[in-house]
Structure 1
Amino acid sequence: MPVKALKPYDIPARDRQEVFGTDQLLYFYVPNRYWFAQAACFRVPQAMTFQNWWEAMAAPLIAADPELSGKSWSAGHWLLNGTPWVPDPDQALAAQSVTHKAMLSWIPE
């Protein structure tokens, strides 16, 4: 149901890219897993490599799921904003078209 504002809403969003400087927000989702009902959101440096992000942020998160704990990022396929994507572990996230508020989905094998 739509909500009618009583006054004009003229406040800039607080999650826009320029607020984060050289960082960005990155959503990470593992579909069809009971441990992960929703995407997690990370604040990551744009220069962070995919491998560093996996080791520092994603792997500790998925360790909560006993079936996924210890799995490599290469043990599955990836989607970037719903499109098939192959990560380069040694390249920066921003250099791989991972933009502010992008969604990375990992479908483990």
Structure 2
Amino acid sequence: MSVRAIGEYKFPSRSRVELYGDDQLVHVWWRDNTFLASAATFRVPKAMPFGEFVTGVLEPWAASDPDFEPGSERDWFIDDSPLRVRDDASLTELGIGHKHTLSFQVG
């Protein structure tokens, strides 16, 4: 849903990429999950390997759902487009940029 401003936006965003240096914000959404029904946002290094992101960031967050199974098969998406992941590739190498939405479904 788009937002329509009633005035001119005359100040810089407080979450613009320049403020994060070697880090970035990544939104994570577990599709079709009713326990974690909305995306969470994490500040992570751009160079973080995907496998480390999953085990160090995503799985601890997802573990709050009692039905979560670490290491389960997942289908990945970046901003609604399918994503082929490699555990050794950095977030940047996979095309996961600042404020992108990384989502997954449990297969």
The offset of 1:9, in angstroms, is: 3.4
Unpaired runs of 5+ residues, structure 1, are none
CA RMSD of superposed structures (Å)? 1.6
1:56-80: CA deviations, max 9, x gaps? Answer: 110001111122132x16x021111
Q: Give identity over the alignment, percent.
A: 30
Larger radius of gyration: 1
Q: Which residue of 1 aligns with 2:97?
A: 99
Amino acid of the structure 2 residue aligned with 1:38: S
Unpaired runs of 5+ residues, structure 2, are none
Superposed structure 1 runs of 4+ greater than 2 Å apart:
1-5
TM-score (norm. length: structure 2): 0.89
Alpha-carbon distance in structure 2 between the residues aligned to 1:3 and 1:53: 35
Q: Which residue of 2 aligns with 1:16?
A: 16
TM-score (norm. length: structure 1): 0.88
Q: Which residue of 1 aligns with 2:49?
A: 49
Alignment size in residue pairs: 105
Amino acid of the structure 2 residue aligned with 1:4: I
The offset of 1:4, in angstroms, is: 2.8
